[in-house]
Amino acid sequence: LRGAFYEFTYAPVLSEFAAAIERGVDVRLVLDLKVNEHWENVRTPDGTTTRTWVESAPREASLRALSDAGIPASAVVARQARANDLQHNKFLVHIRKGEPAAVWTGSTNVTLGGIHGQSNVGHHVRDPELAAGFLAYWEILAADPGARAGMTRGEVIRANREFEAAVDALSAVPGSRSSIPTGVSAIFSPRSTPAALELYADLLAHPDRLACATFAFG
């Protein structure tokens, strides 16, 4: 199993991963573990503000949940580059007999609220070609690409462009709706141009019959 997740704290799910590891399943999880702790001025009900220390999120909550579940550090790949960005991944690739066989993905964070409180979706797609694409994307993420603290401006630009170029190479953005292939397609991010966003806008603004999107907090 190869997964990448943002918030990762829902104990029933984590316990299943821990049990799989105990059975000998090869599990590697890329998790958003960036350090972004900071002081923040929080407004209280009486209108005053209180200076409050905010722990790294989702890092600290995920680390506590991993420890509670007994998931070993060897199963976790820390995503720490691009500390100001959400590493908002939610997917799990099933590799069977050495080959990617299926992928679970969608809008669902592995949290109590993400699973039981919000209007999220999860798709279990049994498509080896699609799973292979997600596995290739996972391998990019596992290298923790992108800019890091301490880099010069030039190094930041170069590191982020290299990340975007690697993602661009995984899948081309269809030039128009007529060139979208039949079946299920994946377009990964971040990308070097707004072409994907422009395609999404066109699909939503001019649907032939129906356009659907997930708005978990609506």
Whether residue 210 lies inside any domain: the answer is no
Q: Residue 208 phi/psi, 5° resolution? A: -70, -40
**Do 59 and 49 form a contact (C-beta atoms < 8 A)?**
no
What CATH number did the domain enclosing 79 receive? 3.30.870.10
Angle, CA 135 vertex, CA 130 and CA 137 arms, to 5°: 100
Facing residues of 20 across strands?
Answer: none
Whether residue 218 lies inside any domain: the answer is no
Stretch 16-34: mean pLDDT, rounded? 98
Cα 173 → chain centroid: 19
Facing residues of 105 across strands?
Answer: 91, 123
Q: What percent of the chain has pLDDT over 70?
A: 100
Number of domain units in the chain: 1
Whether residue 213 lies inside any domain: the answer is no
Whether residue 158 lies inside any domain: the answer is yes
Whether residue 161 lies inside any domain: the answer is yes
pLDDT score of 177 more than 90: no
Q: How does the average pLDDT of the chain come out, rounded?
A: 95
Distance CA 71, CA 153 (A): 37
- Give the pLDDT of residue 218: 60
Whether residue 169 lies inside any domain: the answer is yes
Which pLDDT band, with edges at 50, 70 and 90, does 217 fall under? Answer: confident
Whether residue 217 lies inside any domain: the answer is no
Stretch 147-167: mean pLDDT, rounded? 97
Range of the domain at 146: 2-40+52-205
**pTM for this predicted structure:** 0.93
